[in-house]
Structure 1
Amino acid sequence: MESGRHAKTQQGLTLVELMVALLIGLLITLGATQLFITSKRSFNRVESLAKRQEAMRFLVDSLSLDIRTADKGGITTNGDDVLRLTYSGTRTEDPYCRFTEALQWVEYTHDDPSSSVRIRYQCTDTGDMSPAPLVDGIAGIGFSVAADGTYVDVDTLFLPLDEETEDERSIRFRVTNRNSVIE
């Protein structure tokens, strides 16, 4: 009977029980917050990587198309980071020119202050187009043309993926000029 009377007198939690419950709740909240922050950082890093990969794919596709379709002997470098490709008017319906024009030449350069690869081109009916940024986020780019002009080696150095890492990513690829190898 005494135990029943003791149960009736206790009507709430003690201060110690309340503090323990608050501490457990705080630990769970801190764990959930840390999980959210880690997930957000991971998401941002994956998104940044996807943007870099898309920029790299676009640069490789653009360079490859232009190098493959240039005239035989129409590939020159003007230093290590300038590539000039010439065409004899056979490349029409081009992304650079209007439908009635043919591409005359394309020039790729690297702009150090903005870390972008720039493109300049000329079509048959229009004047020299001023350099326009093609891809941003490039720390450097280098071109070397084979002595016989059949291929171009491209070295590209990308900026770090985020501010926390210091290592830079680079890509090397070789593109063969179709007009130089097909006789």
Structure 2
Amino acid sequence: MRNNNLCQFGAKDKGFSLVELMVALLIGLIVLLGAGKVFITGLQSFQRMEALAKRQEILRYVVDVMSDDVRSAFNASSQNPNTASTEVRVVDSGSAVEIEYFDALSLRGREGIPYCKNSTSADEIAPFIDGVDDVYNVRYEFDDAAGELKVSYRCGWLEADGIAPDPEQEFEIYPSGVTHSGVTYSAPSAVAGGIESILFSRPASAATATIGVQLELPPLSEDDQAQRFEFVITNRIKALSSVNAGLN
């Protein structure tokens, strides 16, 4: 009697068979692979969205900030539609663009924000209402080695002696600056990175202050290709002078 009970107890408490264990392992492996696939897909989507946000930031800067600098340029050639445009110049084989702001009558530049600050010169005539110096030159250049778009600028002020901007003050303001086309700029600082290439160009008509911009950005993922964006920026004052000349 006692031996039969022991046999029945042992038969009820036997473990999983090999087949059952292999089936359980297979089901667990399938669930694990599915969870891993969901995680990898989510990570790739996050990385793609992050790259897309960075691309939009680069495009927003080039289209908004740099375009506004080009559109608002002015100098002595701006009002004359028959004079070659010099307020916007493409230099260094298309890798840089130089922009000038100078009113020959008032000797003033453009409102200095966001580039300039207020100087402490005792000879300075009161700047704009915002309390900052004028900006007279802005330069955009593409650093191919770093894949960055960089900007440098020259700020200044109108002095009582009628000099603006004072060349004697440039090296005091920009001790580490770089001279291009006879203008001493601040040290270039990066404003956008992760760029494959930027090429600036001018149209055949030198009388039009228009530049073409060809911007190439890297692919968002391994499955994508690099994307190229092309657009044109036209200076407002020069364009209006050309239109008025045509109407007259």
2:99 equivalent in structure 1: 85
Paired with 1:19 and 1:167, the residues of 2 have a C-alpha distance of 44
Structure 1 residue aligned with 2:195: 138
Match of 1:114 among 132, 146, 149: 146
5 Å-filtered alignment, 1:1-183, equals: 9-11=11-13, 12-71=15-74, 72=78, 73=85, 74-78=87-91, 79-88=93-102, 89-98=108-117, 99-125=131-157, 126-127=173-174, 128-146=185-203, 147=205, 148-162=207-221, 164-165=222-223, 167-183=225-241
* Deviation, structure 1 residue 35: 1.7
SS at match of 2:27: helix
Indicate the structure (1 or 2) with the bigger Cα radius of gyration.
2
Secondary structure in 2 matching 1:157? strand
Q: CA RMSD in A?
A: 2.3
Give the Å deviation of 1:77.
Answer: 1.1
Moved over 4 A (4+): none
Number of aligned residues: 178
- Identify, as 1 or 2, the structure richer in strand: 1
Q: Report the counterpart of residue 3 of structure 1 in structure 2.
A: none
Alpha-carbon distance in 2 for matches of 1:85, 1:9: 92
Q: 2:69·2:99 contact (CA, 8 Å) conserved in 1? A: yes
**Structure-1 separation of matches of 2:21 and 2:199:** 67
Contact map agreement 1:75 1:145 (CA 8 A) in 2: no
Gaps of at least 5 residues in structure 1 are 1-5
TM-score by length of 2: 0.65
How far off is 1:42 after superposition?
2.0
The 1-side partners of 2:23 and 2:132 are apart by 79
How many angstroms apart in 1 are the aligned matches of 2:145 and 2:21? Answer: 60
Q: Given residue 101 of structure 2, which amino acid in structure 1 is its aligned partner? A: Y
Point out where structure 2 has 5 or more consecutive residues left out of the alignment: 1-7, 79-84, 103-107, 118-130, 158-172, 175-184, 242-248
Cα offset, 1:165, TM superposition: 4.5
Question: Percent sequence identity over matched residues?
Answer: 35
More divergent stretch after superposition (114-123 vs 32-41): 32-41
Shift of 1:63: 1.3
Alpha carbons of structure 1 residues 108 and 176: separation in structure 2 relative to 1, 3 Å: same
- Counterpart of 2:209, as a letter, is T
1:182 maps to amino acid: L
Name the CA shift for 1:27/1:112 in 2 (closer, same or farther; >3 Å).
Answer: same
Residue 149 of structure 1 aligns to a residue in which SS? coil
Write the distance in 1 (CA, Å) between the matches of 2:148 and 2:112.
26
Question: Matches of 2:23 and 2:190 in 1, distance apart?
Answer: 60
Q: CA 1:100–1:43 in structure 2 vs 1: closer, same or farther (change >3 Å)?
A: closer
What is the TM-score when the length of structure 1 is the normalising length? 0.86
